[in-house]
C-alpha cells in the first residue's frame, strides 16, 4: 500500500481507527440483527402461509437480497470514494443503513397487509445491502490510509473488530428480548433491536464526522492522479487482483453467516437446542473473536500478514471433522468447544483481510478495487451461504456431512485466493524495487 508523504500523528491514527470501527460496528450490527431475525422470526412473521422448511428458505432468500445489492453499492460508493474522498461517502452509507434498519423495525406483518409486507422487507433489505456495499471498503481505507506503515495491519484489524462488536451487541439484544414469552417476542419483541439502530447511527455520526480525510487520497488529488471513472479503471487494469480478492474473502464473509444465521436456525430447529442457549454460545464466540483479532494482528507484525492468514485457514480445515461431529451429536458443550477452536483459526485470517486486500491496489483505484472484490464475494458466496447450506441439508435428508463438505470447500477456496493474491502482491513489490 502506498505510504503518504504526510506524517501521521498518533491522534489522527487513533481517531481514524475509532471512526472506522464505530461506523463499521453499527453497520454490522444492523446486518447481524437481520440475520438473527431471519433465522428466528421472519419465516413466521412474513411468510406464514408456507411450510416451516420452505418459510426458512424464503427467509434466507430475503437475507441474500442484501448481498445481491452489495456489489452495486460497492460500485457506486467506490466510484465516489475514489473520486471525491472517503469520509463524506462513509457518512452517507451510515445514515442510509440506519434508516433502512429502523424502518424494518416498523414494518407491518403479513397478517396486517398481506404480500406487501415481504415485498417491503425485501426492498429495505436491498437498501441495507446497498449501504454496506460502500461502507466496508471505505472504512478499511479510512483506517489503514490514516495509519503509519508499521501499524496498518493493526488499523485494518480494528475495522474487522466491527464485525464481532456488531455481533455481540446484536446477540445481547436478542438474548434480552428473547426472554419475552414467545407470542410477545414474535409480535413486537424482535422489533426492538431494529428500532435502536436509529440511536446508534446518531452516535456513530458524531464520531465519524470528526475523522480527517485520508492522506493517500489527498496526495493522489494533489498529483492529479484521481481518475474520472475509477471503477472502470479498476476493472480494466486489475481484473486478476479483483478476482483473487473475491476468492480470498470467501470465509471472511461466509463464516459469520454460516454460524450466526444457518447454524442458529439448524441447532434451534431440527437439532432441538434451546434458543437462548445457542444465542449465548454465539455471544461467547463473538467475544472470543473480539479479543483474539488484535492479538492475531500483533502476531502478524512479526511473522507477516499472509503467513498468519494461511495458518489460520489451515487450522480451520483441520478442525472441520471434529466440528461437524459435535453438530451431529447435537451436544451444546462440544459444539461450543469446536466452534470456538475453529474461530481462533478463521478470525486470525479475518483480522488481517482488510489490510491484505487494501495492500493489493494502488491508491487511485483502491476504494473501487477493495469494494468490488469484497462485495462481489459477498453476493456470490456470503449471502448465499445460509440458503445453500439449508438447501443441502434439506435435499440430503438432513446429512451433517453434506454440509461439512460445503463448509470445507469454502475454506479451501479461500486458501487458494489468499495464496494467489499474496503471489501477486509479492510480484508487485519486486517490480517496484527493481524500478
Q: Model confidence over 136-178: pLDDT tens digits?
A: 777 777 777 777 766 777 777 788 888 888 888 988 898 899 8
| HEC profile of 326-344 | HHHCCCHHHHHHHHHHHHH
Domain extent for 36: 10-434
Report the C-alpha gap between 341 and 427 in whole angstroms: 34
pTM, entire model: 0.76
In a domain, 302, yes or no: yes
Q: What is the pLDDT of residues 401-430, one digit of tens each?
A: 999 999 999 999 999 999 999 999 888 777
Domain count along the chain: 1
Q: Is residue 17 part of a domain?
A: yes
Residue 5: inside a domain: no
Note whether residue 4 is domain-resident: no
What pLDDT is stored for residue 4 in this prediction?
Answer: 44
- DSSP code per residue over 299-311: HHHHH-HHHHHHH
* Rounded distance between C-alpha atoms, residue 207 and residue 274, angstroms: 38
C-alpha distances out from residue 395 to 204, 385, 389, 406, Å = 43, 15, 10, 13
342: CATH: 1.20.1250.20
138 in a domain, yes or no? yes
**Strand locations in 322-419 (E):** none
Instruction: Judge whether 247 and 410 are in contact, CB under 8 Å.
Output: no
pLDDT, tens only, 69-96: 878 887 888 777 777 766 778 788 888 8
Contact between 277 and 178 (Cβ < 8 Å) = no
Q: Is the pLDDT of residue 55 over 80?
A: no
Examine residue 3 and state whether it is found in any structural domain, yes or no: no
Backbone torsion region of residue 357, taken as left when φ is above 0, otherwise alpha when ψ lies between -120 and 50, otherwise beta: alpha
Classify residue 246: in a domain, yes or no.
Answer: yes
Q: Is residue 86 part of a domain?
A: yes
Non-local CB neighbours of 100 within 8 Å, separated by 6+ positions: 30, 124, 125, 127, 128, 131
Residue with cell 483479532: 293
Q: Which three cell numbers stand for residue 274?
A: 434451546
- Written as nine digits, the cell of 186 is 414474535
Amino acid at each position: 500500500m502506498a505510504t503518504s508523504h504526510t506524517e501521521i500523528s498518533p491522534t489522527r491514527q487513533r481517531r481514524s481507527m475509532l471512526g472506522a470501527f464505530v461506523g463499521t460496528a453499527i453497520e454490522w450490527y444492523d446486518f447481524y440483527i437481520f440475520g438473527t431475525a431471519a433465522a428466528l422470526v421472519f419465516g413466521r412473521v412474513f411468510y406464514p402461509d408456507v411450510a416451516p422448511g420452505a418459510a426458512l428458505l424464503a427467509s434466507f432468500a430475503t437475507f441474500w437480497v442484501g448481498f445481491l445489492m452489495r456489489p452495486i453499492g460497492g460500485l457506486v460508493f467506490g466510484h465516489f470514494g475514489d473520486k471525491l474522498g472517503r469520509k463524506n461517502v462513509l457518512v452517507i452509507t451510515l445514515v442510509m443503513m440506519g434508516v433502512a434498519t429502523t424502518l424494518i423495525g416498523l414494518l407491518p406483518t403479513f397478517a396486517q397487509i398481506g404480500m406487501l409486507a415481504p415485498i417491503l422487507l425485501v426492498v429495505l433489505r436491498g437498501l441495507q445491502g446497498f449501504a454496506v456495499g460502500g461502507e466496508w471498503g471505505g472504512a478499511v481505507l479510512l483506517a489503514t490510509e490514516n495509519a503509519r506503515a508499521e501499524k496498518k495491519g493493526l488499523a485494518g484489524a480494528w475495522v474487522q473488530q466491527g464485525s464481532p462488536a456488531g455481533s455481540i451487541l446484536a446477540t445481547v439484544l436478542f438474548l434480552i428480548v428473547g426472554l419475552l414469552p414467545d407470542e410477545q417476542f414474535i409480535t413486537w419483541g424482535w422489533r426492538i433491536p431494529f428500532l435502536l439502530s436509529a440511536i446508534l447511527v446518531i452516535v456513530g455520526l458524531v464520531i465519524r464526522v470528526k475523522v480527517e480525510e485520508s492522506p493517500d487520497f489527498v496526495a493522489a488529488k494533489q498529483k492529479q492522479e484521481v481518475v474520472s471513472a475509477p471503477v472502470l479503471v479498476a476493472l480494466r487494469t486489475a481484473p486478476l487482483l479483483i478476482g483473487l480478492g473475491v476468492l480470498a474473502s470467501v470465509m471472511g464473509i461466509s463464516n459469520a453467516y454460516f454460524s450466526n444465521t444457518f447454524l442458529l436456525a439448524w441447532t434451534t430447529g431440527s437439532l432441538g437446542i434451546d434458543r437462548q442457549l445457542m444465542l449465548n454460545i454465539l455471544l461467547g464466540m463473538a467475544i472470543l473473536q473480539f479479543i483474539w483479532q488484535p492479538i492475531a494482528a500483533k502476531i502478524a507484525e512479526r511473522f507477516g500478514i499472509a503467513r498468519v492468514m494461511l495458518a489460520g485457514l489451515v487450522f480451520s480445515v483441520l478442525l472441520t471433522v471434529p466440528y461437524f461431529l459435535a453438530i451431529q451429536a447435537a451436544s451444546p458443550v462440544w459444539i461450543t468447544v469446536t466452534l470456538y477452536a475453529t474461530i481462533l483459526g478463521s478470525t486470525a485470517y479475518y483480522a488481517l483481510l482488510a489490510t491484505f486486500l487494501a495492500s493489493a491496489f494502488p491508491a487511485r483505484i483502491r476504494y473501487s478495487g477493495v469494494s468490488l472484490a469484497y462485495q462481489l464475494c459477498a453476493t456470490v458466496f456470503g449471502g448465499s451461504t445460509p440458503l445453500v447450506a439449508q438447501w443441502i441439508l434439506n435435499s440430503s435428508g438432513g446429512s451433517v456431512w453434506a454440509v461439512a463438505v460445503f463448509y470445507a470447500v469454502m475454506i479451501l477456496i479461500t486458501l487458494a485466493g489468499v495464496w494467489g493474491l499474496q503471489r501477486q502482491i509479492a510480484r508487485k513489490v519486486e517490480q517496484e524495487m527493481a524500478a
